[in-house]
Structure 1
Amino acid sequence: MKVKLIVTVLGFFLSGGAFGQQKREALSLPEALLLAGTSGERTSSQNEKVKAFQIVNLTGDSLILGYIPLPEKGNERIALISPVDKQEYLEACVGENLNSFFASKGVQGILIVHDVGVGYTSSGIFARIKGVLYESQAATNSYTQTKEVDYLSTENGSNIKNATALLSSSIVAAVTSSATGVVTKEIAKGISVEELLKREKEKYTFISKGVFPTGIYLSYDDFKKGKPSFDHFYLRTDTSHKTVEINSFTIEDSTLVPTQNVWAIASANELYLYQDGMLRAVEAYGNNLVFSKYLDPEVRKNNGVFWRGTVGSRFEEWNAQNPFDERYVLGLNNYRNKGVNAEATKVNGDTGTPEL
């Protein structure tokens, strides 16, 4: 098995699977930046203008907005990027709309963005914004959390050229819609900008630190705590269906026990989400868990070494030995009960569920 693993991995690297650079496509500039000039540079008067609303990008990446397939299909994906720094792009997307909205209320608003995504659905395009909104009375530095934002919008029959416009309207709708849920005393207490930024930056350190102890995680809560439910596991591979069964055992009692409702497993700091009998490589990318398939091979950290040696090496078909082959794409059907069908590209940082 060791010889086969070495040959498989070596063939993967020589074929360019690990070193091929991902293609990128910049989305269109928001109208506000077009008016300021194609470079996106602001005049000094614009920069000095006091804003009633601002966006802070805590996604952990300054450019990536989403992924789309190559026109000629295949395993690779095109990375959709911001034409300028992501934070500047997102603020420009809402133009003066949200500045005017908050100024009219006599408050200052800050949207902390933890995740943003755009891409194709089976019938059009989608835009998604996830974060937390804070507000403070004008000219003060005492902010309270007013709502959590996780907003999805779609546009049937549209293409990715319209993604900027859809994302713009999504942010405005997400921020201006009525708040839902209960605001606890802790988040209702006024804090400074510095304190709220510290709070939000620390929220997903269990992801961003990129440390995944080996074992079986039965729940996302276990993963958040960094404590596997079982430290040892054994995989049974069904070569005909290309699926695996996860069995747990202890050193004291080596009896294998099929383990139900597994969220993920980790080995040698490689993390794999377990869905429909398949293990899909995921990794920390900033504050998000992203399916490794979608990342540029030049920066990808989880190249599926564990998977190839324990699962892929058992398959006869060459393509089946590649954890990033199309057969392992995770499709989301009727996503959020909104009739949206699309590819999952990441994991929701709050719930641990596959996400657009």
Structure 2
Amino acid sequence: MIVGVPKEIKEQENRVALTPAGVDSLVRAGHKVIVETNAGMGAGFSDEEYSALGAEILPEASKVWEQADMIMKVKEPLKSEYKYFRKDLIIFTYLHLAAEEELTKALVESGTIAIAYETVQNPDRSLPLLTPMSEVAGRMAVQQGSVYLEKTRGGKGLLIDGVPGVPPAHVVVVGAGIVGTGAIRRAIGLGARVTVLDINVDRLRYLGEVFMGRLETLYSNNYNLTQAVKTADLVVGAVLIPGAKAPKLVTEEMVKLMEPGSVLVDVAIDQGGCMETTHPTTHADPIFMKHDVVHYAVANIPGAVPRTSTLALTNVTLPYAVRIANKGWKQALIDEGPLRKGANVLEGKIVYKSVADAFDMPYTPVEEVLGM
């Protein structure tokens, strides 16, 4: 199989889908890898490193897309890339289709095989290809949020951990999954007062024990969330429903209750956002003000630390990519239940129900397409 790695074109996205070590693994498995010139430069990988391990370097993205049987990316294809879609082309990347109606329709109409990192799911419901980026995003959410608490950045002028005689900032984390846990870890490590809300009491109990009483836990309902947000200096939205649009849990009325200069970080923005007042922003222009509250809603937060993120991402995606290349997409999906969950669009049909439901489009069970 020919595996293609184009350079990411989302604004200030410096990650790359494959490291030179990943190229080495695919080549050793008998496959050809083509990489666009400078695709890895933002993450610190040179063309020479790729070519030394067997990759062919191509000067234009169009050549990579046209020659590849499978395209590996980090972020969803942008509109300028839709023209490359074609029947039987495999795209293996983060797709977040429940928030991308135009992309979904383009994939359906072209007959492209779209397998999403974020919906590959193990029997225990864990999301192995989303986990490392969620870990990065959760930690970065607090790191960035603490910066925007500075008065010079529009915030209250708070040091997140305070100083002796002065209380620390209050960080509220909405959602106790991988993103939320990453945010909690970073916030507690920085010395903040931290509250987490979730509807899973067992998860709250576990985190309370892990952080040994340094974490306040609250059952997530409208009343508790309103009270927590109202007193927060920094709120991290970390709510995820795999493959589906994020629910709007932090309402505009809650935001209006916050003190001026408070900060919201919506990590769920690439799935539509879990805060009513947020809209996607970029690393170049990451914040906006609404109701005197700083809103940070960058849709590719891990792109700010591309070296760490690329290495962590390839660690988990590469084994699946090798199996798709070895077996072909259809047999790989038949053989592997977790990977089958990653299928979103196959041969012109939406095979992930949450995506179909998001746009009121027809849904076809993946097993039907695979003839299982």
Settle same-fold status: TM greater than 0.5: no
- Provide the TM-score with structure 2 as the length reference: 0.24
- Provide the TM-score with structure 1 as the length reference: 0.25
Q: With a CA cutoff of 8 Å and minimum separation of 6, indicate the structure with the bigger relative contact order.
A: 2
Q: Which has the higher helix share?
A: 2
Larger Rg: 1
